[in-house]
Amino acid sequence: MYRLPFGVPAFAAIPFPCLGSGLQDRPVLYYQLMEHKQLARFVPRFADARILVIGDLMLDHYLVGSVERISPEAPVPVVLVQDERDMPGGAANVAGFLRAFGAGVIPCGLVGEDAGAAMLLQHFARRGIACDGVIRCSERPTTMKTRVVAARQQVVRIDREDTRPLGPEILAEIRCTFDRVLESGVDGVILSDYGKGLLVPEIIEYVISCCREAGVRVAVDPKVEHFRAYRGVTLITPNNKEASEGIGVPIRDRASLERAGAAICEAIDPEILLVTRSEHGMALFERGRPLDEIPTRAQEVFDVTGAGDMVISVAMLALVAGASAREAALLANAAAGIEVSKFGCQAVSPDELLSALDA
């Protein structure tokens, strides 16, 4: 006797002779197969969404080469650079992921008056991403992460950033810019918090309050130090470590996962809590419903950079498209599985996601 997952309708327990002996006696597998195929109907609707992304805009810079010797000056590898590239990072990466699905995107954040800002804005222009919400600030550099990579392994990372508290004038300009974009009409708002200084509790609480008043969904990819400032969001997507540290409950097994999830829901009161758990898949908590564990799909993992950005991007697009919380989580899980199979932060196309759902 198979015990059906929470929410599986009774018809899923009926044998289906047309499927052959492989699936007719395994109703749970049949239900999961059909569930994934039915998710495909949401993907074309992603292009109808208009999403505001507010958070820490960054530029990811890559120096890619090979290592053949150790430096005579110090016990460090010598990397012979063969390729150099840059791409959007942080909140800018979220904007790029959303745009790859055809959605309208308006990033809101700070960049400097420097070469990094120029490159980032060029990326936005090439992708058709509006820059109306990007604020230029001569007092701070554009946040840039330079990764030196050899043989698909990161050798070292060099960060250029200024995380000092923002002054009242800049904070006022951020609020004003956010208000203007929100009033222009958006379907959802994503807070992309990398702890670089823009999303201080004052701004976080202001954004959530405005979204709730306007009836607009708001999702957050959280930072531990701001955890309790996210109260009232529609969706929050911490990873296992963030969930554990953010609420102070170590997650070691299903029982401790349930305790941590219940504590987060009580403290933050999100409509949906989606904990990403690496090889353990995802844990979905909804108001008034039991824990729903979503297993990961087997694949070769090359680089987990950007997986969290993909999860929140696709989950938000799915919710805007009319998906349930579980359907949004399954879509995000499938998209993240594709993203981690690529090197660096690379977008997933609608066709790639549809193919994964059909597999």
Catalytic residue numbers?
309
CA–CA separation, 41 and 81 (whole Å): 44
Q: What is the mean pLDDT of residues 9-15?
A: 32
Contacts of 175 (CB under 8 A, 6+ apart): 203, 206
Cβ atoms 120, 35 nearer than 8 A: no
What is the pLDDT at residue 34? 57
Contacts of 22 (CB under 8 A, 6+ apart): none
Q: What is the mean pLDDT of residues 189-212?
A: 95
CA–CA separation, 104 and 15 (whole Å): 44
**pLDDT value at 18 more than 90:** no
What is the pLDDT at residue 308? 87
Q: In what order do the strands lie in the sheet with 134-136?
A: 134-136, 104-111, 50-55, 188-192, 217-221, 235-236, 272-276, 282-286, 292-294
Question: What are the pLDDT digits (tens) for 264-323?
Answer: 999 999 999 999 998 888 999 998 899 999 987 655 555 556 688 999 999 999 999 999
What is the pLDDT at residue 209? 97
Handedness of CA 162, 167, 173, 174 (dihedral sign): positive
3-state SS of 159-224 is EECCCCCCCHHHHHHHHHHHHHHHHCCCCEEEEECCCCCCCCHHHHHHHHHHHHHHCCEEEEECCH
Confidence band of 24 (pLDDT split at 50, 70, 90): very low
Q: What is the mean pLDDT of residues 128-152?
A: 93
CA–CA separation, 319 and 325 (whole Å): 7
Q: Count Cα atoms within 13 angstroms, Cβ side, for 242.
A: 23
- Helix axes 91-100 and 115-127, enclosed angle (nearest 10): 20
Longest CA–CA separation in the chain, Å: 71
Amino acid at 194: Y
CA–CA separation, 275 and 257 (whole Å): 9
What is the pLDDT at residue 21? 42
What is the pLDDT at residue 337? 84
**pLDDT value at 11 more than 50:** no
DSSP letter assigned to residue 76: S
Q: Count Cα atoms within 13 angstroms, Cβ side, for 149.
A: 19
CA–CA separation, 56 and 192 (whole Å): 7
Taking CA atoms, 276 is separated from 110, 279, 290, 329, 336, in Å, by 28, 9, 17, 10, 10
Question: What are the pLDDT digits (tens) for 326-347?
Answer: 999 999 999 988 877 666 668 8
What is the pLDDT at residue 170? 94
φ, ψ (nearest 5 deg) of residue 239: -85, 180
Task: Flag the least confident range among 49-53, 93-97, 193-197, 301-305.
Answer: 301-305
Q: For the chain, what are the domain ranges?
A: 38-57+87-136+162-358
Q: What is the mean pLDDT of residues 119-138?
A: 95
User: Domain spanning 38-57+87-136+162-358: which superfamily?
Assistant: Ribokinase (3.40.1190.20)
Whole-model pTM?
0.87
Cα 204 from chain centroid (whole Å): 17
Question: What are the pLDDT digits (tens) for 166-199?
Answer: 999 999 999 999 999 999 999 999 999 999 999 9
Instruction: Give me the chain's average pLDDT, please.
Output: 87
Give which of 189, 7, 193 is closest to 91, Cα–Cα: 193
Q: What is the mean pLDDT of residues 151-174?
A: 93
- Whose tokens are 């309050």? That residue is 209
Instruction: State percent of the chain over pLDDT 90.
Output: 75
Confidence band of 5 (pLDDT split at 50, 70, 90): very low
